[in-house]
Structure 1
Amino acid sequence: MHKPLLTTEFLDRARTHYGDDEAVVATTGERFTYDELGERADRFSAALQERGIEKGDRVAVLDPNTHYHLEAAYGIMQLGAVHTPLNYRLTPDDFEYILSDAGVDAIYADYDYAENIEAIRDEVQTETFVTNDSDAVEGQWEEFDDVLEDAGTEYDRPEMAEDEIITINYTSGTTGDPKGVCRTHRCETIHAYLTVAHQQITDDDVYLWTLPMFHANGWGHIFSVTGIGAKHVCTRGIDAGEIFETVRSEDVSYMCGAPTVLNMLTSHYEDHEPETTGEADVRLATAGSAPPEATIRTVEEEFGWYMKHVYGATETGPLITTADARRHFDDDSDDRFRIKKRQGLAFLGTEIRVVDEEGTDVPRDDETLGEIVVRGNQIMEQYWEKPEATAEAFSDRVEGYYHTGDLATIDENGMIAIQDRKKDIIISGGENISSIELEDTLFDHDAVADVAVIPVPSDEWGETPKAYVVPANGDPDDPGVTEEELFGFTRENLAGYKAVRRFEFVDELPTTATGKIQKYELRQEEWEDEERMVGQG
């Protein structure tokens, strides 16, 4: 029997089985049941339809993690229109590019960010502009709540097919112009099912929105948390003190946190020693590059939370692996840190390979480096109107697999461990050096709060590592440690050729809204006088 997999069914299910149960704790202090959330989504659907939005039209959402984002997302998708969330940390020029590239017809923008749309509204085809506080925004904007009140709840939901595009998520642009990642109903639905299974989401979970909803639809949690009937707790930003307080007061049981968020929580905990849980046990998911072992240890042993390390990319759903493989470690053993720092095993129904330049699988010796390629039902359909980029992404080394650009080893159990991005490998004097290994070592120094290591030009070696260091005392002019001391620290803890000899102390590192360090910006600055961004030597 075949039944179409549609994203609209997540909210439909929650309304059917959990209509009277609390669905959303809003940043305004309001609380909505699933019936109320559903009615507001219906009204937004009706309002968009009245303004000419049809199936297949792109509608953008620019919002921090508020209830408006959830209502708008489902209101858009119920029309078969394409939910196109935007990174709120971008510039007006970035928004002009994305709105034009996607051909967006309508946008809802939070009042804190609407001015960046107002600045370019005459340059784009978008005709409908809605915000949640029109008094706080210059220009002609409709008020979200007034729009809902005037619209009513009746709208025509079109027939939809599971292979139709329903979301476009733009990449963070760490390597150039953002690309629109097109995902179908089927992609999103299967990814949500996988997230429910591997993240162990249940209807009594209370999910705290510390991960941006715009980022791969909040890793699909706008679907999985809703469909399972759990509770959303919304936020307007990241504040460590507020996170701890909300975890306690709302009995939060599940949340996500990029390594930068974990650093903030760790620093706040060391300074204030807050209560870290309410009545519920807390599990936290972090993604991408593994946090330092010291951070994992603090989260688990001091906070009393359980950490799940997952991995993926916007193009892959994003989640495709998990290090939460409990048959491979003992919860009470320090050996678990070695496992949890890995990106881990493939999700159900997902095929992960690590291949060499010829597309041949590397040995499972946990030493040989190769690129991670993946195929699975949660992988994107295509890049929006970029057939050449799409073809390259699926055919570079191995035909039919998405090529992540991440370099990794794989062990005897098929568990991967990322060593670097292809563009971030440091080749110094012919030797490959992992920037991740250097960063992990420097993180262990008490004077280092955050660090990014990139290759920089060297007349002698072609490339040499350089570390951008955020000092623990917060003062880059007087960091409490010298470059010589940090060099000695790396020399003592690493092979001699890996020692970091160049440092720059900074206030902060450039990051995307999801906490990924934008090494591309640092590399551009260091290599701007060179013909190419790789060393010759």
Structure 2
Amino acid sequence: MHKPLLVTDFLDRARRHYGDQEAVVAATGERYTYDEFGDRVDRLAAALADRGIEKGDRVAVLDPNTHYQLEAAYAAFQLGAVHTPLNYRLTPDDYEYILNDAGVDAVVADYEYAEKIEAVRDEVPTETFVSNDADATEGDWEDFDAVVDDADPDGFARPEMAEDEVVTINYTSGTTGDPKGVMRTHRTETLHAYVLSVHQEIYDDDVYLWTLPMFHVNGWGHIYAVTGMGATHVCTRGIDAAEVVETIRAEDVSFLCGAPTVLNMLIDYYEENGEPAMTGDSDVRVTTAGSAPPEATIRAVEDEFGWYLKHLYGLTETGPLITMSDARRLLDADDDGRFALKKRQGMGVLGTEVAVVDDDGEDVPRDDSTIGEIVVRGNQVMEGYWEKPEATEEAFNEKREGWFHTGDLASVDEHGMVSIKDRKKDIIVSGGENISSIEIEDTLFDHDEVNDVAVIPAPSERWGEEPKAFVVPTSGDPDAPGVTEQEIREFTKEHMASYKAVKRVEFVAELPATATGKIQKYELREREWGDEDRMVGEG
């Protein structure tokens, strides 16, 4: 038989089986069962319907990881509206672009960020504005809790919905050019959540700590998976290492996600505070994504914290989950070689085909050295870019027809495990030799005086381009880094082939990054290539 796959099923199941169990621990301390959470969702859906929101309308949510974000998402789903989560670190101009591009009808915004929407309010098509603290929000905003309290939970009718209808639009992080709206359907979101639940081993007794932004690919799908399994959401308003560790112990957290930058923040806290206990009564597992974590980070998380680390790879366009390095039959728990394996992006997850192809769209050899582009097809891959048919056509057909092209360059080993070597645009070609910036970065992460680093191609009259490292020193002071540029250069020469060694070094206080911890190398590239006709060398 065929049953439509709808994202409303996740909360429906939790209410049906876990109604009296704890669903959400709010950042402000309130606790809601699934019955209480569901009632608030129903009331908000009724209130939005009363304000004219109907099937197909876009409802944007600008919020840190609070219960308001979860409630607004599921209220939109109840109406068949299109949930449009917003990155809370953008500028008013960014919001003006996105709200107009998506044609957003209603905005639910946190009081701390609503002023950025208020600044462009007259320039966008939005008519309904709701804040979680209207008294603290400048302008004419309705109060979320008052709206919920005043609404009748039976005051809306759930429309007929089809699994191929768009249910969410996620905007890309904008590491290159204007953000694009990634359209995802009931079907893609549901199947992604199913796959996620298996590979992340999510169960009803999990306590999930929201350190991963909910706006980022719908919290990587955990707004669905954690809910559908009847597990507990523990909300936060941001990442503070001391609060994260305290919450893990106090709430008996069993699962969290975070970029390598978050893990490094926790490692620093651990080392600076006498190596405190990093778990409650439950074992803790953590999933990281974005850039590959250095082996030193994985070692600290597993051997010092006692956590189990999984490494996920994907993009906004792919759900994101398409590969994981958690291949336990290939891992030896007693062998330090497992850290190198876990750092790889891994193998395709259930129901997903991942290939590494050459310029003709043919598979590269499984020799772990030949580099090609990662392409993917699976049920979790996006429907396309919102109102951008040409960009959609290119993304799915550039080299291999019908496969999404990631733009990531990688090799693949005998087991089909991929290892990203660089972004297509970031590969360094120096004197005719291809150099992986990621390999240089991973080497520099092993230097005691390097806290963070990004390597890009810089112009070179002799070689066309050469590796340059932007280093955030452990001291935190670029004027007193505790190491010289020459020592950094010599360190890379000692640990890799000499032609790969970094040639130039600049110490900086911080690296430009998106809200999800992805380094925005294009900003660094623009600084280096600003006077050139193009940001690529000839050599």
Common fold by TM > 0.5? yes
Q: How far is the alpha carbon of 1:287 from its aligned partner?
A: 1.0
Q: How far is the alpha carbon of 1:288 from its aligned partner?
A: 3.0
**What residue identity is the alignment partner of 2:35?**
D
Identify the residue that residue 15 of structure 1 maps to in structure 2: 15
Identify the residue that residue 409 of structure 1 maps to in structure 2: 411
Q: Secondary structure at the match of 2:363?
A: coil
Q: How far is the alpha carbon of 1:289 from its aligned partner?
A: 2.2
Q: Secondary structure at the match of 1:464?
A: strand
The yes-or-no answer on 1:225 pairing with 2:230 is no
Contact 1:62 1:110 in 2 (8 A): yes
Identify the residue that residue 55 of structure 1 maps to in structure 2: 55
Q: How far is the alpha carbon of 1:332 from its aligned partner?
A: 2.1
Identify the residue that residue 95 of structure 2 maps to in structure 1: 95
Contact 2:290 2:517 in 1 (8 A): no
The yes-or-no answer on 1:531 pairing with 2:533 is yes
Q: Secondary structure at the match of 1:394?
A: helix
Identify the residue that residue 45 of structure 2 maps to in structure 1: 45
Structure 1 unaligned segments of length 5 or more: list them.
none
Identify the residue that residue 351 of structure 1 maps to in structure 2: 353
Identify the residue that residue 338 of structure 1 maps to in structure 2: 340
The yes-or-no answer on 1:324 pairing with 2:329 is no
> 1: distance between equivalents of 2:36 and 2:312?
33
Q: Secondary structure at the match of 1:354?
A: strand
Q: How far is the alpha carbon of 1:454 from its aligned partner?
A: 0.5
Identify the residue that residue 282 of structure 1 maps to in structure 2: 284
Q: How far is the alpha carbon of 1:331 from its aligned partner?
A: 1.7
Identify the residue that residue 157 of structure 1 maps to in structure 2: 158
Q: Which runs of 4+ in 1 moved over 2 A?
A: none
> 2: distance between equivalents of 1:288 and 1:117?
28
Q: Secondary structure at the match of 2:425?
A: helix
Contact 1:105 1:128 in 2 (8 A): yes
Q: How far is the alpha carbon of 1:417 from its aligned partner?
A: 0.5
**Which of 368, 371, 376 is 1:369 aligned to?**
371
> 2: distance between equivalents of 1:81 and 1:271?
47
In the superposition, the TM-score normalised over structure 2's length comes to 0.99
Q: Secondary structure at the match of 2:523?
A: helix
> 2: distance between equivalents of 1:133 and 1:469?
40
Q: How far is the alpha carbon of 1:385 from its aligned partner?
A: 0.0
Q: How far is the alpha carbon of 1:306 from its aligned partner?
A: 0.2
Q: Secondary structure at the match of 1:13?
A: helix
Structure 2 unaligned segments of length 5 or more: list them.
none
In the superposition, the TM-score normalised over structure 1's length comes to 0.99
Identify the residue that residue 507 of structure 2 maps to in structure 1: 505
**What residue identity is the alignment partner of 2:97?**
Y
Moved more, 428-437 or 286-295: 286-295
Identify the residue that residue 110 of structure 1 maps to in structure 2: 110
> 2: distance between equivalents of 1:134 and 1:521?
36
> 2: distance between equivalents of 1:289 and 1:472?
20
> 1: distance between equivalents of 2:311 and 2:238?
22
Contact 2:468 2:502 in 1 (8 A): yes
What are the Cα deviations for residues 78-100 of structure 1, in whole angstroms up to 9, with x where unaligned? 10000000000000000000000
Q: Secondary structure at the match of 1:500?
A: coil
What are the Cα deviations for residues 301-344 of structure 1, in whole angstroms up to 9, with x where unaligned? 00000000010000000000010000001122212112101000
> 2: distance between equivalents of 1:149 and 1:288?
40
Q: How far is the alpha carbon of 1:528 from its aligned partner?
A: 1.0
What are the Cα deviations for residues 381-414 of structure 1, in whole angstroms up to 9, with x where unaligned? 0100000000000000000000000000011111
The total of aligned residue pairs comes to 537
Amino-acid identity (%): 74
**What residue identity is the alignment partner of 1:532?**
R
Contact 1:287 1:309 in 2 (8 A): yes
What are the Cα deviations for residues 223-262 of structure 1, in whole angstroms up to 9, with x where unaligned? 0000000000000000111111111110000000101101
Identify the residue that residue 309 of structure 2 maps to in structure 1: 307
**What residue identity is the alignment partner of 2:7?**
T
Contact 2:259 2:291 in 1 (8 A): no
Contact 1:288 1:343 in 2 (8 A): no
Q: Secondary structure at the match of 1:193?
A: helix
Q: How far is the alpha carbon of 1:137 from its aligned partner?
A: 1.1
**What residue identity is the alignment partner of 2:211?**
T
